[in-house]
Amino acid sequence: MKRHALAMILVLGFGLGSVFAAPGGGQAEPQGRARLRERIGDLYLLRLTRALDLTEDQTAKLYPLLVRAEKDKAELQRRLNLDMKDLRAELSKERPKEDALFPLTSGVWEKRREIRRIDDDVEAALDRVLTPVQKARYLIFTVEFFRSVGENLERARGLRAPLKRSP
């Protein structure tokens, strides 16, 4: 358990360094968001391990599953965002074409269903591996972690210029 925790701390330490590095660096905005998402995922896994007091066996079973799920969801979210951009562009036309909207809306629905399926698979695995106390801690931890991340991101956005959003 200590070996896994130490390894996760090192990964997290190196990862967070890039999040707090000076902006610019020739990095495109989508890459920056992807890296931030990856770092938040690393932080999530580290804190989850601590909050649930996972055994070495539990960590070995859950870590690969959680990492794969987050990667898959990130890719689906990226593709979903592209579909939404295309959907907005089509709807912004004076006369949107229904035959162009159908594949876009179908794609969005399908990607959303796939993200939910991944979440369901993760929850089923957690249900099999965690004790009842750990399950209860997981529910509370997840809500508090993402609330905290959201608040910190909002605070960080307040320090920068507002993001421009498309209509």
Span 24-65, pLDDT tens digits: 444 445 677 778 878 888 888 889 999 999 999 999 999 999
What pTM did the predictor assign? 0.68
Q: What is the distance between the terminal CA atoms of the chain, rounded to a whole angstrom?
A: 49
For 147, other C-beta atoms within 10 Å of its C-beta total 10
Q: Which residues lie below 8 Å from residue 114, measured CB to CB, with a gap of 6+?
A: 76
Helix boundaries (H) for the chain? 2-19, 29-52, 56-91, 98-129, 132-159
pLDDT in tens, 108-164: 999 999 999 999 999 999 999 999 999 999 999 999 998 998 888 888 878 765 555
CA distances from 93 to 82, 102, 157 (A): 17, 15, 31
Task: Tell me the Cα Rg of the chain.
Answer: 19
Residue 1's pLDDT band (cuts 50, 70, 90):
very low
pLDDT in tens, 69-122: 989 998 999 999 999 999 999 999 999 998 889 999 999 999 999 999 999 999
pLDDT score of 165: 57
pLDDT score of 104: 92
Q: Which residues lie below 8 Å from residue 66, measured CB to CB, with a gap of 6+?
A: 45, 48, 122
Whether 13 has a pLDDT exceeding 70, the answer reads no
pLDDT score of 154: 86
Nearest to 110 by CA among 83, 89, 131, 135: 83
CB 79 within 8 A of CB 142: no
